[in-house]
Amino acid sequence: MKKNILFFIGIFFLVSSYSFSAPAELFGTSLIADVAAKVSPAVVAIESIQYVRTKHFPGFGDPFFDQFFKHFFDDDFEGYRNNVIPKKGSGSGVIIDSAGNLLTNQHVVDGADEIQVIFENGKKYKAIVVGQDPNSDLAVLKIDSKESFSFAEIGDSDKLRVGEWVIAIGNPFGLGITVTAGVISAVGREISIDRNRTFKNFIQTDASINPGNSGGPLVNSKGQVIGINTAIMPYGQGIGFAIPVTSARRIINDLLAFGKVRKIGIGISVQEINESLADYLQIPPKGLLVTEVSDGSSAGKNGISPGDVILSMDGKEAKTPNQFQELVNRHIIGESVSLEVSRKNKTTTVKVPIQDDSGKTSTVKGGKNFLGLEVEEITEDLAEQFSLTAQEGVIVIGVAPGSLGANIGLRVGDVLQGINDSKILSVNDFSNKLSQVSKQGKLVLNIVRDQISQILVIQLG
C-alpha cells in the first residue's frame, strides 16, 4: 500500500513540475520575449514628411465676395497660391547591416521630402532613400550617421512551414515599437494592392499587423527576418501579409548597389503550351515553349533555341511565364540555373548563367484581314503610345467586336510577327500572307505582347 502511495505521489510531482514548466516551452511565451528582445534594437519607426503645395483662397465667408475676389488671389497673391502643407506618414523598418542601411516598404517613403527614424529607446536620426522599387513595394534607406548599429539577421523564407511561430515587430498607429505574435497561416498568396499592382508569393500570417506596421520585420523563432510586413485585409481579422525575403534578395542587393532594380533573365521568351500548340509542333503538352532567344544571350550561347521546351529550372516546375521569371528572380547576375530541356523528344540538362536584361528588347512583325483586325506599321508615335520596344512589323490598332481576332484573344497593342512560319515585314506583306491561308487549315500567329513573344495556333473551318 505504501509503495502505491509513494508511486502516485511521485507521478503527481512529475506531472506538476511538467505542467508548471510546459507553457513556456509549448506556447512560446519565453521564446517570443527572447526573440523580441534580440530583434527590437534593429527595428525603427519611420516618420516621413512630404511638402505639398496647394492653391488656397481663405475666403471671407460671403459667397458673393468670395467668388468676386477669388481670381485676384489666385492670380496675384503668391502667399495664397503657394501654401505649403506638410503631409505626414508613418511606418516601420528593420536595419540589415551595421552601417545603418534599413529595409522598409516603398509606399512608406513614396514622395517623402524628409525622413526620420526613431529607435525603441527614443533616439532619432535622419535618413535618406538609397533606392526604391514600386513593383515589389520595397525600399532601402540609409541612416545619416557614422555610428555602428545593431542589425537583424536575414533568414530563408523558402524554408517556412505553415503553422510555425512568427513575430511581427513595428510601429502600429504611431504608438511606438510593438510586438505581436502568431503563426504562418499560408504561403504563396497573391493579392492586389490597387488596379496596377498585384503581388505574388506573399506570406500570410495571423500575427496582428496594423497601419504603421508596414515595412517592419516578420521574424521566425530563431530571430531571423523572413518577411517584410506590407499589407492587411481590411475586411478580415487576423489576415496580414508579408513579402518573403528570399525571393526579394536580389531586389534588396540591387537597391543597395545601384539604387534601382535591374531586369535579369537568360535572354529568352517563353509561353505556355496548350494541346493545339503541342499537336502542331509535336512537343510534350507540358512545360514552357521557348519562342525567342536574344542574340548574344547566355541562353543562346549555351545552346537554347526556339522550339525547345523547358520542363524545369533547378528542379522546380514553372507552369507559366510569370512563375518562370519568379524562379529567375531568386538568383543574382552571374549565378547559373539548371534547365531541364526537351528537344526533339529527348531530355537534356543545360546550365545557363543569369544575365542583365535591362534594356534588352524583342523584335516583332504583322496587316489587315478576315481576322477583323486593323493594323498599321510601327511609327515612333505608336511605339510611344503603346510602350513598344519593337521597331519592325505591324501593330494591331483595332479589333472588330465578335470577329475571329477578338475570339482568339487578339487585342489592340499586339504586334504581329509572323503567319505560318513566314515573317511579316509590312502591312501589305501581312495582307498578302493572310490571304494565302487556307480557311480549312491551321493558322499560326507569332505575336509580341507586353514585350513577350507568343505563338497562337488556331484551327480554321
Told to judge if 17 belongs to the known catalytic residues of this protein, a careful annotator would answer: no
Which residue of the set 40, 90, 92, 107 is catalytic? 107
- Three-state SS sequence of the chain: CHHHHHHHHHHHHHHHHHHHHHHHHHCCHHHHHHHHHHHHHHEEEEEEEEEEEECCCCCCCCHHHHHHHHHHHHHHCHHHHCEEEEEEEEEEEEECCCCCEEEECHHHHCCCCEEEEECCCCCEEEEEEEEEECCCCEEEEEECCCCCCCCCEECCHHHCCCCCEEEEEECHHHCCCEEEEEEEEEEEEEEECCCCCEEEEEEEECCCCCCCCCCCEEECCCCEEEEEEEEECCCCCCCEEEEECCCCHHHHHHHHHHCCCCCEECCEEEEECCHHHHHHHCCCCCCEEEEEECCCCHHHHCCCCCCCEEEEECCECCCCHHHHHHHHHCCCCCCEEEEEEEECCEEEEEEEECEECCCCCCCCCCCCCCCCEEEEECCHHHHHHCCCCCCCCEEEEEECCCCHHHHCCCCCCCEEEEECCEECCCHHHHHHHHHCCCCCCEEEEEEEECCEEEEEEEECC
Told to judge if 56 belongs to the known catalytic residues of this protein, a careful annotator would answer: no
Query: Are the C-beta atoms of residues 62 and 69 closer than 8 Å to each other?
Result: no
Which residue of the set 90, 92, 133, 137 is catalytic? 137
- State which amino acid sits at residue 101: N
Pairing relationship of beta strands 442-449 and 415-419 according to DSSP bridges: antiparallel
Which residue of the set 40, 214, 269, 362 is catalytic? 214
- Three cell numbers at 414? 499586339
d(CA 5, CA 218): 51
Query: Are the C-beta atoms of residues 184 and 205 closer than 8 Å to each other?
Result: yes
Instruction: Please work out, in degrees rounded to the nearest 5, the angle formed at the alpha carbon of residue 53 by the alpha carbons of 49 and 59.
Output: 125
Residue 430 CB-half CA count within 13 A: 28
Told to judge if 62 belongs to the known catalytic residues of this protein, a careful annotator would answer: no
Residues whose CB falls within 8 Å of the CB of residue 147, separated by 6 or more in sequence, listed in order: 100
Mind telling me the catalytic residues?
A: 107, 137, 214
